[in-house]
Copies of this chain bind each other. A is one copy, B any other.
Amino acid sequence: MIYFEDFEIGDRERFGRYEVTRDEVIEFAGKYDPHPFHLSDEEAAKTHFGRISASGWHTCSMMMAMFVEHIQSPPHASHGGIGTDELRWLKPVYPGDVLSMETEIVKKRRSRSRPEMGSLWTRMTTYNQDGVAVLSMITIALYGLRNPDAPIAES
């Protein structure tokens, strides 16, 4: 099991593979983000997208799918996400793209109110098959500690 103590600021990991399909892009957008430019190439051609592209929330969800798969083995002592900061949809994601992602630990802090937990700030960047960053965010997640009885450092 991977615990809060196992992460160091600056740690990076690169992983994941997600093939973006036209059917899934249209299904997701039809349900949750039915702008005409997400549903029709003709409408998309009138915008800077040029052709059908994925809803930004779909891209976030595909990133999450890669991340959750990654933290299954070895399992992570994650207690779920609190939120994200600085989420940016940097470039459109198109059907046919193949996504991957990178994580970088940017900050960690032991909880004072719940000494068995700590908060972990992770920059998550999603790339397309050309290595172009399409989505970036800093997630904040709660993690369990391996040694909850260790004293909380002052710094």
Residues on A facing B (Cβ under 8 Å)? 28, 31-35, 37, 47-49, 55-58, 60-62, 64-65, 68, 79-89
Smallest CB separation, A100 vs chain B (Å): 16
**Contact call A87/B85, Cβ cutoff below 8 A:** yes
Copies in the complex: 2
**Contact call B47/A79, Cβ cutoff below 8 A:** yes
Contacts of A64 in B (CB 8 A): 32-33, 55, 57
Contacting A60 at CB < 8 Å: which of B49, B57, B79? B57
**Contact call B79/A83, Cβ cutoff below 8 A:** no
Contacts of A47 in B (CB 8 A): 79-80
Contacts of A32 in B (CB 8 A): 61-62, 64-65, 68
**Are A57 and B68 also in contact (CB < 8 A) when A81-B89, A82-B89, A88-B83 are?**
no
